[in-house]
């Protein structure tokens, strides 16, 4: 009986090599970033350090937004007198939370976050991913991500990045799969952008076909104008205050190992007390920080451009899973402030992108695909654990995110996918 079950499990994994790569990567990360530092450390003592940079009281970011809304609705004052870096519409959206106490609102936001994570990391990836093997892979990434460092950090702060991703994903789904609901898709996309500016990068996902440049440009300009107009929803003064408030964090962000933006990574690596890189490299990075920032920004944009180029060259239509993941990574590393709670966004896009290879079996292409899928899976699995469990050179997650982006940019050129914009459109990777 045991032998039969074991044989069936091995056979199941062998015919689904992508699932096997992800499964092995998650197991390796669990061993290397949790079991070894906690149980098998050099001090021969069980260690559970504080792996989240907690603040007291819990839900500090939600409390700030609660206070910003209170200034508008209760005190009839501007929300930009106390370090508010969120859009004016965000303070209005948080208004309904004032109907209850802060603790009640925090719990409601927590439930919304977990529900959004379930829908964005399991339900929606299944809806846009072709079988076979899609359900197993989506379930694996959802379960492993549910208890991850990023999700716990998101809940601890009372953040709403997962909610913003869910709205973006839902908008993209409606755009490609429910064309009659495109106005709703544009509204959901705009709300996501107003909650968190980084979803603006997903505008390139709202494309029917890359050959239709006129319609695409018109749509993007229209969405840009609409979202810019929303910044004036509280008047000209609030717009000016908002621009002044975000200028400081953009130019001089809080740089620490838990901020995985390009700018923060370069700043932290250049510090003598961090030891993320060898001393000589740190000096070089400190002396050439501006140039390196430009180079890395160009590289990230170039990866996005290459994926779009490949889609345009193949005249691909519909939902592009690789571009969706690339946009997510871009939204994580391009903004100057991008703390590790945003790592919770990766599970859904990784499931979608990896499922584009779920029908692939061991064959001619697998020798090329497998190293890239394995490396990207390992990089993703490493983000599930806090920096306190990692060696210094792995503590900041920017290199892992760059590995994921680079791997899937290359994988795009080996994929035969022509788009999955309508149900039932599959992919063949073994021809």
- Given this model, what pLDDT does residue 356 score? 84
Helical spans, DSSP H, in 119-261 = 124-128, 134-146, 149-157, 161-177, 182-195, 213-230, 236-251
CA atoms lying within 13 Å on the CB side of residue 18:
27
Given a contact cutoff of 8 angstroms between Cβ atoms, the answer to whether 319 and 172 are in contact is yes
Q: Is residue 419 part of a domain?
A: no
Contacts of 320 (CB under 8 A, 6+ apart): 205, 307, 311, 419
Instruction: Return d(Cα 188, Cα 83) in angstroms, integer.
Output: 27
pLDDT tens track for 215-228 = 889 999 999 999 99
Instruction: Return d(Cα 8, Cα 4) in angstroms, integer.
Output: 6
- Given this model, what pLDDT does residue 401 score? 97
DSSP-based three-state secondary structure for 209: strand
Q: Is residue 418 part of a domain?
A: no
Q: Is residue 427 part of a domain?
A: no
Q: Is residue 240 part of a domain?
A: yes
- Given this model, what pLDDT does residue 424 score? 36
Instruction: Return d(Cα 402, Cα 303) in angstroms, integer.
Output: 10
Instruction: Return d(Cα 282, Cα 287) in angstroms, integer.
Output: 9
- Given this model, what pLDDT does residue 340 score? 95
Q: Which residues of the chain have pLDDT under 70?
A: 1-15, 43-47, 130-133, 358-365, 416-431
Residue 188's Cβ-count burial label (10 Å; 0-12, 13-18, 19+) is buried
Q: Is residue 32 part of a domain?
A: yes
- Given this model, what pLDDT does residue 122 score? 94
- Given this model, what pLDDT does residue 12 score? 53
- Given this model, what pLDDT does residue 79 score? 85
Domain range spanning residue 68? 2-412
Indicate the number of domains in the chain: 1
Q: Is residue 254 part of a domain?
A: yes
């Amino acid at each position: 009986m045991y032998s039969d079950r074991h044989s069936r499990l091995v056979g199941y994994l062998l015919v689904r090599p992508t699932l096997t790569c992800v499964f092995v990567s998650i197991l390796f990360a669990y061993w290397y970033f949790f079991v070894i530092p906690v149980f098998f450390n050099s001090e021969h003592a069980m260690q559970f350090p504080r792996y989240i940079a907690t603040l007291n009281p819990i839900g500090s970011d939600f409390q700030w937004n609660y206070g910003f809304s209170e200034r508008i609705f209760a005190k009839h004052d501007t929300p930009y007198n106390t370090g508010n870096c969120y859009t004016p519409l965000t303070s209005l959206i948080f208004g309904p939370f004032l109907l209850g106490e802060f603790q009640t609102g925090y719990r409601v936001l927590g439930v919304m976050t977990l529900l959004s994570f379930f829908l964005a990391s399991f339900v929606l990836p299944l809806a846009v991913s072709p079988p076979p093997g899609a359900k197993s892979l989506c379930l694996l990434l959802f379960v492993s991500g549910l208890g991850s460092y990023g999700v716990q950090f998101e809940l601890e702060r009372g953040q709403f990045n997962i909610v913003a991703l869910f709205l973006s994903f839902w908008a993209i789904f409606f755009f490609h799969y429910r064309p009659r609901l495109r106005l709703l898709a544009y509204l959901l996309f705009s709300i996501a952008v107003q909650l968190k500016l980084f979803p603006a990068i997903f505008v390139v996902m709202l494309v029917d076909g890359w050959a239709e440049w006129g319609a695409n440009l018109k749509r993007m300009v229209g969405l840009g104008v609409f979202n810019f107009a929303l910044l004036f929803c509280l008047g000209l003064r609030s717009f000016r205050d908002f621009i002044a408030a975000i200028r400081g964090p953009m130019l001089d962000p809080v740089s620490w190992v838990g901020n995985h933006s390009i700018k923060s990574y370069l700043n932290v690596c250049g510090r003598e007390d961090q030891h993320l890189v060898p001393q000589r490299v740190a000096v070089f990075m400190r002396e050439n920080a501006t140039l390196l920032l430009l180079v890395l920004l160009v590289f990230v944009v170039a990866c996005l451009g290459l994926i779009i180029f490949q889609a345009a060259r193949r005249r691909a239509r519909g939902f592009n899973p690789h571009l969706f993941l690339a946009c997510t990574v871009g939204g994580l590393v391009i903004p100057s402030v991008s703390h590790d709670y945003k790592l919770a966004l990766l599970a859904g896009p990784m499931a979608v992108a990896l499922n584009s290879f779920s029908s692939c079996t061991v064959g001619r292409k697998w020798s090329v695909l497998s190293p890239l899928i394995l490396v990207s899976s390992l990089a993703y699995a490493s983000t599930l654990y806090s920096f306190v469990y990692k060696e210094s050179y792995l503590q900041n997650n920017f290199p892992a995110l760059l590995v994921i982006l680079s791997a899937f940019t290359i994988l795009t050129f080996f994929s035969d996918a022509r788009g999955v914009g309508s149900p039932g459109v599959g992919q063949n990777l073994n021809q």
